A and B are shown apart, each in its own frame.
Chain A
Amino acid sequence: MKWKFVLLLALLLALGLPATAFAHGAKIEYTINMAVEIRAAYDTGEPMAGGQVAVYAPDDPSTPWLTGVCDEEGRFTFTPDPSKPGTWDVQVRQSGHGDMVHIPIGENVAMTGGTGYTPLQIVLMAACVVWGFVGTALFFSQRRA
């Protein structure tokens, strides 16, 4: 009789006490979700406030995975689905103006990136092209003379 009581007590201990202990414990899991912040601006540097954003996942480049609107400073933040590695495309457009940025997510992730050039690059490229036109003009006016 007595050993049965002991067995029951042991069983309760085995089941009950750890159970209460589990109830008081806490468990935290973590996965790192990278949020992507984009900032859209016009050539002039003026932010594209209120620009409409369409995010395209790598597996479906034709239908938007997410749509949204840029804030006053042209910023928009989203968290891409980590189970879809590849190039995510984000398009921002406003009144027929806009651009699309390609963001690699997954193994070859680039922490920053963008479209466009620095002012120095732009000036240099513009100067080269203009010189090309001027050279063409000089060439043909020389032939004429």
Chain B
Amino acid sequence: MHIPDGILPAAVCLGGYATTGAATWYSLRKINQQENPREGIPKASLLTAAFFVASWIHIPVPPTSVHLVLNGLLGAVLGYYAFPAILIGLFFQAVMFQHGGLTTLGVNAAMMGLPALVAYHLFRLRRALGKDSRAWTGLFGFLAGAGGLGISVLISLALLITTIPAHLDVETERASIYAMSLAHVPLMALEGVFTALVVLFLQRVKPELLEGGSPLSPFPPTLGGQGGG
């Protein structure tokens, strides 16, 4: 999932940095427009720590193994804070563990951060669609978690498939890239469930943490969906 140094051509790395720069600017602007921009920093910081260590949690998916990404979760819970959170998390992963790389930091941040923002809007849809039950929140939490990761996998698949260098055995590499991407499908389900559990837990114990402190229902769980989730 994290693309290391020396895999992608320089033009792609530059494009990644450009995209990440624009997305960071936009996210920070959105954060700054909030009433109290500092309010979200503690939870963003804690979730950055979770994101940072999540990549060490490996899930065996024979014949390979994948690791947690959690970008969908960050998007759903943090909103626009998710992009800088992921950027910072990736920076430390690259510097400390060579997980990813500094030349590909832009690409990786765009690859995981933009889907996180998609996940955020996906999760917000639950309000737009009217219902505010626990089942509904859980469902959209699942969609955000699985969707955020799924889009990242697709972006990484597209980037890797189109930039296989000629000196490699292209067929073998392509097959292994497809296999690697397929191995993320069970992980999508897993992260979807995990995201659903986290948002349900937050909604129960501290609902103001969801959606930047503007809860529609201050005293959940509501009557509508107690059996769900």
Cβ of A140 and Cβ of B4 under 8 Å apart?
no
Q: Chain B, 22-60, contact with A by CB distance < 8 Å: what is the 0/1 string? A: 000000000000001011011101101100110010100
**Using Cβ atoms and an 8 Å threshold, which residues of chain B touch A7?**
none
Binds B, one of A15-23, A73-81, A92-100: A92-100
Binds B, one of A29-37, A39-47, A103-111: A39-47
Cβ of A52 and Cβ of B42 under 8 Å apart?
no
For residue A122, CB closer than 8 A to chain B, the reply is: yes
A63 to B165 Cα, complex, angstroms: 11
A138 to B86 Cα, complex, angstroms: 19
Given A54-B167, A133-B52, verify A93-B7 contact (CB < 8 Å): yes
For residue A144, CB closer than 8 A to chain B, the reply is: yes
For residue A87, CB closer than 8 A to chain B, the reply is: no
**Using Cβ atoms and an 8 Å threshold, which residues of chain A touch B214?**
none
Which residue of A is nearest B48, CB measured? A133
Binds A, one of B13-21, B68-76, B174-182: B174-182
Cβ of B168 and Cβ of A52 under 8 Å apart?
yes
Cβ of B45 and Cβ of A96 under 8 Å apart?
no
Cβ of A140 and Cβ of B45 under 8 Å apart?
yes
For residue B211, CB closer than 8 A to chain A, the reply is: no
Which residue of B is nearest A135, CB measured? B45
**Using Cβ atoms and an 8 Å threshold, which residues of chain A touch B38?**
140, 143-144
B interface: dominant SS: helix
Which residue of A is nearest B161, CB measured? A96
Cβ of A130 and Cβ of B58 under 8 Å apart?
no
Q: Closest CB-CB distance, A89 to chain B, in whole Å?
A: 9
Q: Closest CB-CB distance, B162 to chain A, in whole Å?
A: 11
For residue A13, CB closer than 8 A to chain B, the reply is: no
**Using Cβ atoms and an 8 Å threshold, which residues of chain A touch B41?**
136-137, 140
Cβ of B97 and Cβ of A144 under 8 Å apart?
no
In the complex, which of the residues A42, A54, A97, A98 has the most CB atoms of chain B within 10 Å of its own CB atom? A97
Given A50-B172, A64-B167, A122-B97, verify A96-B7 contact (CB < 8 Å): yes
Contact with A138, one of B6, B42, B67 (Cβ below 8 angstroms): B42
Q: Chain B, 96-126, contact with A by CB distance < 8 Å: what is the 0/1 string? A: 1111000000000000000000000000000
Q: Chain A, 109-142, contact with B by CB distance < 8 Å: what is the 0/1 string? A: 0000001110000100110011001101110110
A126 to B53 Cα, complex, angstroms: 7
Contact with B43, one of A46, A93, A130, A137 (Cβ below 8 angstroms): A137
A96 to B161 Cα, complex, angstroms: 9
**Using Cβ atoms and an 8 Å threshold, which residues of chain A touch B48?**
133
Cβ of A136 and Cβ of B45 under 8 Å apart?
yes
A144 to B64 Cα, complex, angstroms: 45
**Using Cβ atoms and an 8 Å threshold, which residues of chain B touch A93?**
7, 168, 173
Cβ of B39 and Cβ of A144 under 8 Å apart?
yes
Cβ of B176 and Cβ of A98 under 8 Å apart?
no
Cβ of B179 and Cβ of A95 under 8 Å apart?
yes
Cβ of A52 and Cβ of B160 under 8 Å apart?
no
What are 11 A-B contacts defined by CB distance under 8 Å? A44-B58, A54-B168, A63-B167, A64-B167, A95-B179, A98-B6, A98-B7, A99-B4, A129-B92, A138-B42, A140-B41
Q: Mark A residues whose CB is within 8 Å of B.
A: 42-44, 46, 50, 52, 54, 63-64, 67, 69, 91, 93-100, 115-117, 122, 125-126, 129-130, 133-134, 136-138, 140-141, 143-144
